[in-house]
Amino acid sequence: MLPVITAWKTRNRAGGINCIGPGKPVDTDKFFVVCPNNLGGCGGSTGPLTTNPATGKPFGPDFPIVTVRDWVKSQAMLADALVINCWAAIIGGSLGGMQAMQWAIDYPGRIKNAFVIAAAPKLSSHNIAFNEVARQVIRSDRHFNDRHYYESDAKPSVELMLARMLGHITYLSDDMLDEKFGRELSDGKIKFGYDVEFQVES
C-alpha cells in the first residue's frame, strides 16, 4: 500500500472519523496511513509532562520550544525509521496544514502530493492579537504559578476554557459565526435581563 502521513488528530470529527478509513477519501484499504503525534504534544510524545532527567521533575515550562519545522524534521526521522523514502501524500488541516506546507518546502523530493486544508503560511496580525489576549487570560489565573502547574497540581481551568473560547472564534467563518452567534432570537421574542437572548450553541 502507498504510505500517507496525516497531521490530523485521529479522533477529530472532521478529519479522522469522516475522512480516514475503508472506502473514505483516505482509504485505508489502499493507503498505509501514519498519523504521528507532534513532539511536545500531550498525546503520547515526549513533552512538558515528561520527567527532566537533569532535575527528576516534569519539564514543565523548561521543555524546549518546538516549531513546525521541528515537527516536520521529527516526522522525516520517523519516515526513515519506517523505511519510507517517499510519501504518496502529506495531509493536514490548520496547524497540520502548515506542516504539510513545511514538508513541501523542506522535503519536496520525499512527497508526491501535499493537501493543505484551512491553513496559511503564517499567522496574520489579527490572529497574533487574539493569541496575545488568550495568553494574558491564562496568565491572569491565580494558579498560573509561572507555568509550573505540575508542582502545585493546579491548572487554570476556567481561564483555559475562556482562552479556548476566544481561540475558537478565530477558527470560524462568517457563516459559522452567524450560525452560532447570529441575531436570531432563541425563543422568538426580546427579553430584558442578563440571560442569553440570542441563539448560542455550545
Cell numbers given for 180: 452560532
CB 151 within 8 A of CB 60: yes
Residue 146 lies in a domain: no
pTM exceeds 0.75 for this model:
yes
Q: Does some domain include residue 76?
A: yes
The predicted structure's pLDDT at residue 8: 54
CA angle (186, 127, 103) in 5-degree steps: 120
Tell me if 148 is assigned to some domain.
no
Output the nine-digit C-alpha cell for 78. 520517523
Region 17-31: what's the mean pLDDT?
A: 89
What's the grid cell of residue 113?
Answer: 502530493
Q: What pLDDT shows up at residue 190?
A: 61
For residue 155, being part of any structural domain is answered with no
pLDDT at 57 over 50: yes
In a domain, 8, yes or no: yes
Residue 173 CB neighbours (<10 A):
9
Asked if residues 149 and 48 have their Cβ atoms less than 8 Å apart, the reply is no
Residue 10 above 50 pLDDT?
no
Instruction: Flag whether 99 is in a domain.
Output: yes
**Residue 61 maps to a domain:** yes
- Look up the CATH number of the domain holding residue 116: 3.40.50.1820
Q: For residue 17, what are the domain limits? A: 1-121
* 60 occurs within a structural domain: yes
* Number of domains observed in the structure of the chain: 1
